[in-house]
A = this chain, B = another copy of it.
């Protein structure tokens, strides 16, 4: 290995180490930290942020990248390098440019605006007062355009923002996939709404935290979560975080009258953790940016695949349901496995994205994508967002928000400057379905194996085709290599139709 490459790895590993230290502090803050500790904890995290920022923008990195032939035009560097070295340079070039291309005054302006906009958003949401938030959103859009101009001069701003969260994606690529998906989801939803609703009333039977904790621990074992390299704790809003190469922590919360909530959040977060723990780059690249996830959408594909495709399937519960009944006390007494599986797949249009099911979730996202696309291109004025939002809600989902609190003010993202982030959520579902479809064709009798309690083939397939190489491939490349074709919404549509025609009987 050339000494410049070795030095790059050394510098990168220090960033990873400090990032993981920050993650320890963040995890503790969310799980166990006493309330009065917050003041100094913020300073501790800011101190580490300062160190890691300094390390990220070090000009030495730029020099080393150049000396290895990596540039904006040729990010992978000299063709004489090994494939993994070239993949690594592409990852580093991308992150180094993102860190260094923004002028300091823009960075400060963004930080200040985020801080003000978030506060304004919280107040506006509480009062359902969009006009109070509008000027902040306008400013945020303007700054996002300036940011895009710095990061991708000459490119359409929304393309640059989308690529920031989902490397390699563009408005055209995402738009094409979403366009074919939208009609399918709307028509599937119509079919479902024409049928009698499933009964899920027993899911709100009481089940105490201790029982739910036992269910979660059991579920982690079912999914082969390595408890020597991770653990489960409770928080207000469940998440997964990586505190070290062999230290991935998941979280959940226990609501006495909604035990299925912790069950599926544990499966979801375990899916994230299995991805993190399944990344196995060549030894030389351990603990570098090559050993990180390929993207947020690929991450979401793993959590959704385990939660929805596997965790909400009849096959999965065939061998496991009796044990779940036992562990959940009286909650599932007298409820058959079939009724349980129907209940956990209930579809119901709702106003709030985070509460949406598999069918309607995509529509919430497509709505946001279309609005972002319009206001970034100047086709939609900020003041007209509420009307546009409500119109799309009505047209896609058949429900109309009674106020902006439950409409266009529901998400924090825009106030944080995350314009272009929403599509990742839906792309995760689409990737998952395409992986799932391919896996089923490649692994004969997979459904029978799952129904006999053998999940090993699923994990092996995912490790080999998705987890192992970390960030060595772009998301689009991962999909192409794993499934033999580009992303196509038809896999998701096929999956949804197959499942819901059974659940709702049409």
Is A231 on the interface with B (CB-CB < 8 A)?
yes
Q: A41-B244, A245-B40 are in contact. Are A47 and B21 (CB under 8 A)?
A: yes
Is A195 on the interface with B (CB-CB < 8 A)?
no
Q: Report which of B34, B229, B231, B247 forms a contact with A227, defined as CB distance below 8 A.
A: B34
Q: Are A17 and B44 in contact (CB under 8 A)?
A: yes
Is A233 on the interface with B (CB-CB < 8 A)?
yes
Query: Once bound together, how far apart are the Cα atoms of A28 and B28, in whole Å?
Result: 8
Q: Are A47 and B14 in contact (CB under 8 A)?
A: yes
Which residues of B have CB within 8 Å of A20?
40, 44
Query: Once bound together, how far apart are the Cα atoms of A20 and B41, in whole Å?
Result: 9
Q: Restricting to A178-233, which residues have a CB under 8 Å from any CB of B?
A: 226-231, 233
Which residues of B have CB within 8 Å of A243?
28, 37
| Closest B residue to A21 using CB positions | B44
Q: Are A287 and B226 in contact (CB under 8 A)?
A: no
Q: Are A35 and B245 in contact (CB under 8 A)?
A: no
Q: Are A41 and B233 in contact (CB under 8 A)?
A: no
Q: Are A17 and B47 in contact (CB under 8 A)?
A: yes
Which residues of B have CB within 8 Å of A25?
21, 24
> How many subunits of this chain does the assembly comprise?
2
Q: What are the interface flags for A431-475 relative to B under an 8 Å C-beta threshold, 1 for contact and 0 otherwise? A: 000000000000000000000000000000000000000000000
Q: A25-B21, A28-B28, A244-B44 are in contact. Are A36 and B228 (CB under 8 A)?
A: yes
Which residues of B have CB within 8 Å of A47?
14, 17-18, 21
Which residues of B have CB within 8 Å of A245?
39-40
Which residues of B have CB within 8 Å of A227?
34
Q: Are B35 and A228 in contact (CB under 8 A)?
A: yes
Query: Once bound together, how far apart are the Cα atoms of A34 and B14, in whole Å?
Result: 22
Is A413 on the interface with B (CB-CB < 8 A)?
no
| Closest B residue to A41 using CB positions | B244
Is A506 on the interface with B (CB-CB < 8 A)?
no
Which residues of B have CB within 8 Å of A228?
34-36
Which residues of B have CB within 8 Å of A230?
34
Q: A21-B25, A21-B48, A36-B226 are in contact. Are A41 and B247 (CB under 8 A)?
A: yes
Which residues of B have CB within 8 Å of A231?
32, 34
Which residues of B have CB within 8 Å of A51?
51
Q: How far is the CB of A139 from chain B (nearest CB, A)?
A: 33
Q: How far is the CB of A334 from chain B (nearest CB, A)?
A: 31
Is A73 on the interface with B (CB-CB < 8 A)?
no
Is A116 on the interface with B (CB-CB < 8 A)?
no
Which residues of B have CB within 8 Å of A43?
17
Q: How far is the CB of A210 from chain B (nearest CB, A)?
A: 10
Which residues of B have CB within 8 Å of A381?
none
Q: How far is the CB of A23 from chain B (nearest CB, A)?
A: 10
Q: Report which of B36, B44, B247 forms a contact with A34, defined as CB distance below 8 A.
A: B247
Q: Restricting to A239-271, which residues have a CB under 8 Å from any CB of B?
A: 243-247
Is A126 on the interface with B (CB-CB < 8 A)?
no
Is A33 on the interface with B (CB-CB < 8 A)?
yes
Q: Are A40 and B233 in contact (CB under 8 A)?
A: no
Q: How far is the CB of A465 from chain B (nearest CB, A)?
A: 25
Q: How far is the CB of A127 from chain B (nearest CB, A)?
A: 30
Beyond contacts A24-B28, A34-B227: 5 other A-B pairs, Cβ-Cβ < 8 A, are A24-B44, A32-B231, A36-B229, A37-B229, A51-B51
List 23 A-B residue pairs with CB atoms under 8 Å apart, sorted by A's residue number.
Answer: A17-B40, A17-B44, A18-B47, A20-B40, A21-B21, A21-B25, A21-B44, A21-B48, A28-B243, A32-B233, A33-B247, A34-B227, A35-B228, A36-B228, A36-B229, A36-B246, A37-B229, A37-B244, A39-B246, A41-B244, A41-B247, A44-B244, A51-B51
